Amino acid sequence: MDGRERALDAAHRGAEAFLRTLDTRPVWPRADLDAMLEAFGGPLPDEGLDPTAVVERLMADADPGLVGIPGGRFFGFVIGGTLPAALAADWLVSAWDQNSGSAMLTPATVALERVAGRWMLDLLGLPETASVGFVTGGQLANYACLLVAQRAVLTRAGWPLAERGLRGAPAVRLAVGADRHGSIDRAARFLGIGTDDLVVVASDDQGRMLPDALRAALATDDGPLVVCLQAGEVHTGAFDDLAALIPIAHEHGAWVHVDGAFGLWAGASPRLAHLTAGVGGADSWATDAHKTLNVPYDCGMAIVRDPADSIAAFRTGGDYLVYTGLDPWDVTPELSRRARGVPAWAALRSLGRGGVAALVERLHDNAVAVAEGLRGIGGVEVVNDVDYTQVLFRLRDDAATRALGDAMLVDGTAVVTGSTWRGRTALRCSMSSWATTPDDLERTLGAVRRIVAGMGEAVPARP
């Protein structure tokens, strides 16, 4: 074996060793950032190190600071695991090292991304001619789509954007739900849309935008307008009623964007597709492959109904760039880029249409089962309607809920993360991993039962 082979072999063995510990290691890391800085820091040594020794050092020193994200009992935030085919494909992406901005330069990886994009449009019920730009995640997908939207509504209003830019342009108003994801506000900030131009529309107890409130909010609007809807609220998993809301927004001439980072995938399941009914009527969509589809980080999709709108926003100048139709650099803000869509192709190909539906349904089944189990533990209240993959729960008071969340991390059996919902502390349990088994659910519920009992929170379960 030469140096390269030895290093790759060490990484392969190390990766396998890590993945094999997932069932038994504490899900939350045992070492904190300071310990990790201590392990890796210090001045850069003058002398180099053999590649295999570098890999071995990485594996040994990083281990205590690694989170069990790819295992079956990580339920924090909204974070998927990694399907085997996607992980292996991701390794190939690095080995191939294809700079995948242009079809002329890298036909294999551009074709794989284009096919993965088409498959996703079909699965999710989106228009087959839409452009799909593979970006790093939902944040960048929201940003890219809202950038396209901002340009499109200004151009349609007759504003000479190419020459004048935003100097003196009419304000673009952005209507958003009260329970939008924080990445929408961040994208607005990137785009120079201030809070004065955010139109915040009221939502119901699950976080769904109220159609009457949208109608009322838009009644006085006459300038360029973008309406941002949501498929999958991070606490409750609730979906805006897209079939009702999209037509209201379009009546007011708005561009409609849907943030469906994990929720858009409901459309891939015949059993859950009612949640995204009407989604195909929007103008742009943001979603992730690294959540529900379970590909490794980082992989999100910025999807735009009319590719001409993405091209207007993103196509690059420069004589040395040869155009061959719809290149990745035409539909994303990036130029040089990793072929991050290839693991998505591999995940889709390994699952097939039926496998994607089964995966999404299993995540929903797991959420229902955990909610049921939690309801049976005295003192635990499930706060949301478990229509999709999210379970929101709490104890009788905020301090006890926080203490339960902290104790879960120390216990290490499973990870759930905290938040605030309607003014009260709650814990979020997100079913996003293909790796979660019935045994993982039992172990997780067992940990909650044990900790709650130890806290003296236990009261008789509801009959």
Ligand X SMILES: *Cc1c(COP(=O)(O)O)cnc(C)c1O
Binding site for ligand X (CB under 6 A): 78, 137-139, 142, 181, 183, 232, 234, 259, 261-262, 288, 300
Residue nearer to ligand X on the CB measure, 145 or 225: 145
Least separation in angstroms between residue 153's CB and ligand X is 21
Q: Are 299 and 327 in contact (CB under 8 A)?
A: no
* Alpha-carbon distances of 52 from 65, 190, 210, 432, rounded to whole Å: 21, 41, 58, 34
Residue nearer to ligand X on the CB measure, 10 or 238: 238
Q: Which residues are CB-neighbours of 5 under 8 A, at least 6 positions away?
A: none
Least separation in angstroms between residue 184's CB and ligand X is 7
SS3 assignment for 386-405: CCCCEEEEECCCHHHHHHHH
Q: What are phi and psi of 181, to 5 degrees?
A: -75, 150
Residue nearer to ligand X on the CB measure, 135 or 154: 135
Q: Report the distance separating Cα 365 and Cα 362, nearest Å.
A: 5
Least separation in angstroms between residue 85's CB and ligand X is 21
Q: Are 77 and 429 in contact (CB under 8 A)?
A: no
Least separation in angstroms between residue 137's CB and ligand X is 3
SS3 341: coil
* Alpha-carbon distances of 438 from 49, 271, 363, 373, rounded to whole Å: 44, 21, 11, 12
Residue nearer to ligand X on the CB measure, 186 or 353: 186
Burial per residue of 318-348, b for 16 or more beta-carbon CB atoms within 10 angstroms, e otherwise: eeeeeeeebbbbbbbebeebbbbbbbbbbbb
Q: Are 165 and 192 in contact (CB under 8 A)?
A: no
Least separation in angstroms between residue 235's CB and ligand X is 10
Least separation in angstroms between residue 359's CB and ligand X is 17
Q: Report the distance separating Cα 386 and Cα 365, nearest Å.
A: 10
Residue nearer to ligand X on the CB measure, 140 or 359: 140
Least separation in angstroms between residue 142's CB and ligand X is 6
Residue nearer to ligand X on the CB measure, 138 or 281: 138
Residue nearer to ligand X on the CB measure, 82 or 413: 82
Least separation in angstroms between residue 26's CB and ligand X is 24
Residue nearer to ligand X on the CB measure, 137 or 281: 137
Q: Report the distance separating Cα 101 and Cα 99, nearest Å.
A: 6
Instruction: Render 245-307 in DSSP notation, one character per residue.
Output: HHHHHHHTT-EEEEE-TTGGGGGG-TTTGGGGTTGGGSSEEEEESSSTT-PPSS-EEEEESSH
Residue nearer to ligand X on the CB measure, 10 or 146: 146
Q: Report the distance separating Cα 454 and Cα 132, nearest Å.
A: 50
Of all residues in the shown chain, the one whose CB is closest to ligand X is 138
